[in-house]
Structure 1
């Protein structure tokens, strides 16, 4: 075992996030449990969404005490299909053409290179999927709906495997560690991620997981839900489910098309790759974010043209803000300023944007993201709060990210950051927060 000896480059982490090891252990256990709970608590097979409050605990207690329930979480066919899916994504990364770009300069002076072909992988996958459905019919693509629980188990298992692999391998060789994941506590470091950029040769595990297996699977899940509804309705799909499918597929396509932008995010530049990112990328994103589509399979809502237009307006407004803000940021980071936006000089010799979208609040892209998240839930109506779980969770997540970003920027810019906050006082939602 040859852990890196450069303590200046890889100093011991002194502080904890998420309430330290007890908090991270709780999250490690509760994230998979929440994914299962959202299925069993919002399903036509469990008595509604959610089931009657009086029956939730008795039925849950009976299930947890029944060995057959635990056995039912494992599905051999689903595990094989998930493994094939993951291997397919890896093969696409290797085989499909794509440019190689450099990421940001890391603290050891190196700039890691990344292969860009996530959008091409999406296009190939969509072509295969559409061709399959046209050839064999919607019934042939309901596998995901029918094996939902088994696929969740397979994705969680893959997340645990990758988290353990990256944690154990971080002790071998001269690795660049994450500043926040080197506490020496195995529970905490396994969750946060000890190694910054785990790779196998030129294959970067973290960036690959961020954009390919989970995000593209999310779209495939939505398509499977639409196929299941089409089978039940004699080939027709409700306008509400079409909206959800369109919104979420557009969001994924936009993210993959703009793949280079991810290499400046905190996930890539700062956070280590551990169970937190692996389970988020592989299990949480595809199986939690598609909750609205799964709900609409059996709660078949027809919105009509007026409500459809209003919800479409909410989503497109969010997308306009999200894409406009990210466009300004990416242009500025690449040395461009086509709109002549105002900037603030800092003692570090860099500049901060203080006009345009970034003059309205510190994270206008988060605001656009939240509007889109709301639009994904609105087609489900207001009979249950469960389908609004995503937008509620996402709000908390973005507030936490904003808090972490503020802390990092204060360390980076010092007094200049306080001056910046006076110029741009709102955090995420202009005039509100």
Structure 2
């Protein structure tokens, strides 16, 4: 009788605290292996294709003003000449991983790891992990301290001449090569060491597929979570500094920074700042909770994100260097794109914040941080939700009452603006948008399948309550 009358525990915002009892279904789904990305053949193609594509894009930018190049002849001899002379030879001579590039990239990697391990910050508990019988891992969230320290040190080093930030743009190809090598190296080290330590999880039995998807769920060095570090501390700051370097290079040669170059610096600052100021929210994300730390996450974070998402910034710089023409647009067009960027960022920031703070409230790990900027509607008071038989609550307030994936819509708004600010002279600035459409389409289909399996009829109720995925009344 007493148990039946026991009141449900809620937080100060009226959100029930989720009891993290691991169900049989949780355990089954956590161990379930489903071939994605075309299975072993598909992931092998991606592991070879990703770095090859990065080098191809670099050659197009460095030598051809961003134009996509093709073999002059489609015969076997013509293709061989194209690959070995036009691509490989140019990579060897122009993107060789020389010592300066190693110092720049690996120095930053080491610096970011030391900061993640040592700087002060709140310790936040993650979600209960089925593989650990509901245990919650703790995460040191010192990204904000790291970010402000990095901004300060980089400004001091640049203006004193200790390290000129323009060196990044001047050695872009070589630094990218170091990042690619490090992406493969780190993926291999984590795979091998986790095997030696007996921490393999959710293995398919196929080496190539397991290497791509990862072997270990939560690799750590002491209290440093490698997946969390690789997700937030390396890719986005490196991307930001590539854009800063390109803008400073323009300033050195022209005496000004154009609106498109400033646009890209702002765009990448907003993204990296969002990751650091809301780091405690990332702990409840799918990547941290479920995805293993394999080539897919490590290579893409160490090399793919910073050196492919930067195409707009590098294109603006290379086009100007090769033609002497600075890309510019009319004032109304420029204002329109800044508006698209800022509106997209607002939805992205507040949408992610609403969802993850709601999860943190259920997890009992919610906290308030004084981090800039704290945007209105980032935390929902007295949210509405659908209670599932599983025990989870499905948020139906804020942006999440309007669409099921509003943060994806916002991401696409920002990514298309990154391309449009460069004009229409090259496809490369639009690669990020096109790639993201494919990635998000895959994620949405995978998420829908898992949620339908996990929540059953409750998921049907949720879809009736929130029928649109991206844009209300459209899709």
Give TM-score scaled by structure 1 length: 0.90
Whether the 8 Å CA contact 2:348–2:406 is kept in 1: the answer is yes
Task: State the secondary structure of the residue aligned to 1:75.
Answer: coil
Whether the 8 Å CA contact 1:75–1:151 is kept in 2: the answer is yes
Describe the shift of the 1:70–1:311 C-alpha distance in structure 2 as closer, same or farther (beyond 3 A): closer
Deviations 1:150-191 (A, max 9, x none): 1111111111111111211222334262x3xx1011100000
Q: Given the alignment of the two structures, is residue 85 of structure 1 paired with residue 127 of structure 2, yes or no? A: no
What does residue range 413-432 of structure 1 map to in structure 2 within 5 Å?
A: 413-432=455-474
What does residue range 6-405 of structure 1 map to in structure 2 within 5 Å?
A: 13-41=32-60, 43=61, 45-51=62-68, 55=72, 61-62=80-81, 64-66=83-85, 68-69=89-90, 71-72=92-93, 73-76=95-98, 77-107=100-130, 108=132, 109-136=134-161, 140-175=164-199, 177=201, 179=202, 182-233=203-254, 235-297=255-317, 298-299=319-320, 300-333=326-359, 334-335=361-362, 338-405=380-447
Give TM-score scaled by structure 2 length: 0.82
Partners of 2:212 and 2:152 in 1: CA distance: 36
Gaps of 5+ in 2: 1-26, 321-325, 367-378
Gaps of 5+ in 1: 1-7
Deviations 1:319-361 (A, max 9, x none): 1211232232134221597444432222123322234311221
Q: Which residue of 1 aligns with 2:10?
A: none
Task: State the secondary structure of the residue aligned to 1:101.
Answer: strand
Partners of 2:29 and 2:427 in 1: CA distance: 45
Partners of 1:290 and 1:11 in 2: CA distance: 35
Q: CA offset at residue 60 of structure 1? A: 7.0
Partners of 2:306 and 2:28 in 1: CA distance: 36
**CA RMSD, Structure 1 to Structure 2 (Å):** 2.4
Partners of 1:236 and 1:70 in 2: CA distance: 31
Q: Which residue of 2 aligns with 1:4?
A: none
Whether the 8 Å CA contact 1:370–1:395 is kept in 2: the answer is yes
Partners of 2:91 and 2:159 in 1: CA distance: 37
Partners of 1:68 and 1:393 in 2: CA distance: 27
Describe the shift of the 1:59–1:69 C-alpha distance in structure 2 as closer, same or farther (beyond 3 A): farther
Task: State the secondary structure of the residue aligned to 2:283.
Answer: helix
Task: State the secondary structure of the residue aligned to 2:274.
Answer: helix
Partners of 1:70 and 1:47 in 2: CA distance: 14
Partners of 2:171 and 2:401 in 1: CA distance: 47
Partners of 2:468 and 2:304 in 1: CA distance: 29
Describe the shift of the 1:184–1:308 C-alpha distance in structure 2 as closer, same or farther (beyond 3 A): same
Give the number of aligned pairs: 419
Partners of 2:29 and 2:384 in 1: CA distance: 37
Of 86-95 and 50-59, the range deviating more from structure 2: 50-59
Deviations 1:74-102 (A, max 9, x none): 32221232221111111212332122111
Q: CA offset at residue 70 of structure 1? A: 5.4
Of 122-131 and 8-17, the range deviating more from structure 2: 8-17
Of 51-60 and 31-40, the range deviating more from structure 2: 51-60
Partners of 1:80 and 1:74 in 2: CA distance: 14
Describe the shift of the 1:292–1:424 C-alpha distance in structure 2 as closer, same or farther (beyond 3 A): same
Whether the 8 Å CA contact 1:63–1:69 is kept in 2: the answer is no
Task: State the secondary structure of the residue aligned to 2:472.
Answer: coil
Task: State the secondary structure of the residue aligned to 1:102.
Answer: strand
Partners of 1:119 and 1:349 in 2: CA distance: 33
Q: CA offset at residue 394 of structure 1? A: 0.8
Task: State the secondary structure of the residue aligned to 2:470.
Answer: coil
Partners of 1:36 and 1:54 in 2: CA distance: 16
